[in-house]
Amino acid sequence: MADYAMLHQTTAALTAGEDDLVALMATVACEVHHADDRFDWTGFYRVVAPELLKIGPYQGGHGCLVIPFSRGVCGAAARTETTQLVPDVEAFPGHIACASSTRSELVLPVHDNAGKLIAVFDIDSNQPDAFTTQDAAELERLLRDVFTRP
């Protein structure tokens, strides 16, 4: 399990005073990716057009370049603006296999301080049922702290 207290503290220190979204996304992706061995691929898909995500900063192997809101776990998180905790990606209707090693996935919507959806944060694991509701809650808080600061 990730040391979330340390992750929150480190991320807050590294991102203090920064407002560039790419810099923030790159820092969060790196820190979260290295916080837990369960996290096999960690990155952002940015909202670049209506109903369309494109890959942003990430850690791990290659990811899908473009994901429509209508497809996959990332699309579902963007479309519904709700966290998607998927214990078995093979059982998720319309799952997009960007990496054949992915067994479970956690995708969280990312909003700016005006409440606008700007991205989704995608964490893949090569382990089945790797994520918990605690992971989701801690990462939701981390994303709020970084991306919705005044």
Evaluate if residue 92 carries a pLDDT over 90.
no
User: So what's the pLDDT on residue 140?
Assistant: 98
d(CA 73, CA 79): 10
> pLDDT (tens digit, 9 = 90+) per residue, 40-84?
999 999 999 999 999 999 999 988 999 999 999 999 999 999 999
- CB atoms closer than 10 angstroms to residue 18: 12
91 vs 138, residue with greater confidence: 138
Provide the whole-model pTM.
0.95
- The CATH architecture of the domain made up of 4-147 is 2-Layer Sandwich (3.30)
Least confident of 18-22, 57-61, 91-95: 91-95
d(CA 38, CA 106): 11
Q: How many residues does the chain have?
A: 150
Domain ranges of the chain: 4-147
Place of tokens 């890959």: 55
What's the whole-number mean pLDDT along residues 19-26?
A: 97
- CB atoms closer than 10 angstroms to residue 8: 16
